[in-house]
Structure 1
């Protein structure tokens, strides 16, 4: 049996020396991570502090990584509503499949009729 030891060494992305932590932040809909020394992490937090103090937390911060943050995703109906949307579409004489994605034009008509 062979053992392995994997060691991850963080390097400060600004200065190249040792990093103490990975700092995560988001701006304009994009999430970022940067490895920083304690001093550089403190400088980043100090620089952002006045903006954070005046800002409000958004629902986007609660989303899991990899999910879309576009506004169109929030207007789409949940999976539990797809049955109701399909039934409504058929009642309107619209052709919709039993499975798969509901076409956007049908979703738009449904939302317009039910809002």
Structure 2
């Protein structure tokens, strides 16, 4: 007997089914709490467009994670870029998760191969 688990993603705003490649993970903080949303490209863009005036008027707060050099993707949350990195990694035989944080080594390899996409 074989067992196969299938993960189905859904847009957190409109409950639309999404493939792993269509999921845009959006993380944001408000009033001291951090939130994560799984969104379609359209809803992720709506979120970005809505929050942009507040980001432009606000001051970015940088938090360090212990000692040492920050990871090369610190502060970057470009879902399109993350999708390109994942696609590049798969095309080049590297193991990469379909969502969540991308390993620093994978990002560094991608940036070495694609210096114009930093």
Q: Which TM class, normalised by the smaller chain length?
A: 0.3 to 0.5
The structure with more radius of gyration? 1
> Which structure exhibits the higher relative contact order, with contacts defined as CA atoms closer than 8 Å and separated by 6 or more residues?
2
What is the TM-score normalised by the length of structure 2? 0.44
